[in-house]
Amino acid sequence: SSVRSGEMAKSAQLIDNEVFRAYATYAAIVLLKMMLMSLVTAYFRITRKAFANPEDTASFGKGDSAKKFLRTDADVERIRRAHLNDLENIVPFFGIGLLYALCGPDLSTALLHFRIFAGARILHTFAYLIPLPQPSRGLSWAVGYAVTISMAYKVLSKALYL
């Protein structure tokens, strides 16, 4: 029906915009990267036999034989820290980046922000998990942080309404 296509057209507006398409692409990539950390954690919990919940160790038997797998493992904790760092940094990128993409920035400037952020967070993950010597992790974190601050500056200077 024409009502339906009218609705479809409306919903398609944002995604037809090149800046918004670029935002959607890089936002999806970094959110997927963040989600990947769950799989890495699960993999290390299973291979290292290091679990947080008693019900997760039930398949290893009962009593003390299972209880010994309720423990922390240095590598599992490292991945969990990397995952939390993603939440602390990728969530602000997603939020501020969305507002930024709706502020009508130049396509080339927007792409520069999105690409540098995505690259920096992928580097940050490798630096955290391999691990690479510092300042690899610190620098890649700082670059992503600076990109988000730069987008926030644009948002506040364009939209400020207190």
Return the residue of 60, 65, 67, 159 that touches a copy of itself, per CB under 8 A.
159
Per CB under 8 A, does 147 bind a copy of itself? no
- Work out the number of other CB atoms within 10 angstroms of the CB of residue 143: 16
Per CB under 8 A, does 126 bind a copy of itself? no
**Distance of alpha carbon 159 from alpha carbon 162, whole angstroms:** 9
Per CB under 8 A, does 129 bind a copy of itself? no
**Pair 110, 22: CB distance under 8 Å:** yes
**Pair 30, 93: CB distance under 8 Å:** yes
Q: Is 51 helix (H, G, I), strand (E, B) or coil?
A: strand
The least distance separating a copy of itself from the CB of residue 125, rounded to whole angstroms, comes to 14
DSSP class per residue in 70-136: BS--HHHHHHHHHHHHHHHHHHHHHHHHHHHHTT---HHHHHHHHHHHHHHHHHHHHHHHTTPPTTH
The least distance separating a copy of itself from the CB of residue 162, rounded to whole angstroms, comes to 6
Per CB under 8 A, does 34 bind a copy of itself? yes
Per CB under 8 A, does 2 bind a copy of itself? no
Per CB under 8 A, does 68 bind a copy of itself? no
Q: Which residues bind a copy of itself (CB under 8 A)?
A: 7-8, 10-22, 24-25, 27-29, 31-32, 34-35, 37-38, 52-53, 55-56, 58-59, 78, 81, 83-84, 87-89, 91-92, 94-96, 98-99, 101-104, 128, 131-134, 137, 145, 148-149, 152, 155-156, 158-162
